[in-house]
Amino acid sequence: MKKSNYLKLYLVTDSGLALGRSVESVVHEAVRGGVTVVQLREKEASSRDFYNTALRVKEILRGTGIPLIINDRLDILLAVDADGLHIGQSDLPYEVARRILGPDKIIGLSCDNDEQLLKANQYEDLDYVAVQAYGTQTKAEADHPLGPEGVLRSKQLTRHPLVAIGGIHLENAAAISAAYADGIAVVSEIMSAADPQKAAANLLQEFEKGRK
């Protein structure tokens, strides 16, 4: 799983955006549409609910080759034996996570600025970095442009596969892909879609268009 082609269409879940549907039902439809990796991110869920949802999503993904990534919660990953962990700058340190998980689990790291991207280069076994594509910036991020220009800059700075997240939709997915992102991560564009399968298929098509 160390190749980066699984990053192409990266679904990040949010039950609050699912229009009253279960996370599992949206994931099921999104997988049929071409999602290549699923990150379970349920910050408002209790540990028990997060665990149970992770088990159900893992079952949906069984046999598909699509990795299940758990956001932040190392305990949930270990409990369900998910494929990987995604952490941010204020979460468990990367070195600790890798020591606990060993070499075979996927670990992704969010980076908010050039300094964090460059620091992440020292992690030889980091599987990917995630950077902001669109949205608002803090003062600490002001040195780093947004949009395709920012994604390209990030790609030039990092030694790792790169996923762009934030404000990506059907109209700009190809441009982000053309900036050499290894993948596009979306939340509401699929979670809130009336037809998650169609939304996923259209996004994947746009991502591939940007590669041409």
CA distance 61 to 16: 21
CA distance 211 to 180: 8
Q: Please tell me what DSSP assigns to residue 3.
A: S
Q: Is 41 annotated as a binding residue?
A: yes
Residue 131 phi/psi, 5-degree rounding, is -130, 160
pLDDT digits (tens, 9 = 90+) for 170-180: 999 999 999 99
Task: Give the model's pLDDT for residue 77.
Answer: 98
Which are the contacts of 139, defined by CB distance < 8 A and separation ≥ 6?
Answer: none
- How confident is the prediction for the chain on average, in pLDDT? 94
Q: Is 42 annotated as a binding residue?
A: yes
Q: Is 13 annotated as a binding residue?
A: no
pLDDT band at 145 (very low <50, low <70, confident <90, very high): confident
Asked if 183 and 4 touch (Cβ cutoff 8 Å), the reply is yes
Q: Is 136 annotated as a binding residue?
A: yes
Q: Is 150 annotated as a binding residue?
A: no
Q: Is 56 annotated as a binding residue?
A: no
Angle between helices 47-61 and 23-33 (to 10 degrees): 30
Task: Give the model's pLDDT for residue 115.
Answer: 94
Residue 142 has pLDDT above 70, yes or no: no
For every residue of 127-159, DSSP letters joined together read: -EEEEE-SS---GGGTTS--HHHHHHHHHHH-S
Of the candidate CATH numbers 3.10.20.30, 3.20.20.70, 2.60.40.10, 3.30.530.20, the domain formed by 7-208 belongs to: 3.20.20.70
Q: Is 72 annotated as a binding residue?
A: yes
Task: Give the model's pLDDT for residue 1.
Answer: 43
Alpha-helical regions (H) of 71-195: 74-80, 94-101, 114-120, 147-157, 173-178, 188-191
Angle between helices 196-210 and 23-33 (to 10 degrees): 40
Task: Give the model's pLDDT for residue 212.
Answer: 77
What tokens does 124 get?
A: 């030889």
pLDDT band at 137 (very low <50, low <70, confident <90, very high): low
Lowest-confidence region among 4-8, 31-35, 91-95, 204-208? 4-8
Q: Is 91 annotated as a binding residue?
A: yes
Q: Is 139 annotated as a binding residue?
A: yes
pLDDT digits (tens, 9 = 90+) for 76-124: 999 999 999 999 999 999 999 999 999 999 999 999 999 999 999 999 9
Higher pLDDT, 145 or 204: 204
CA distance 156 to 66: 27
Q: Is 110 annotated as a binding residue?
A: yes
Q: Is 138 annotated as a binding residue?
A: yes
Q: Is 75 annotated as a binding residue?
A: no
The pTM score is 0.95
Tell me what the mean pLDDT of segment 58-67 comes to: 98
pLDDT band at 2 (very low <50, low <70, confident <90, very high): low
Strand-strand pairing, 68-71 and 84-87? parallel
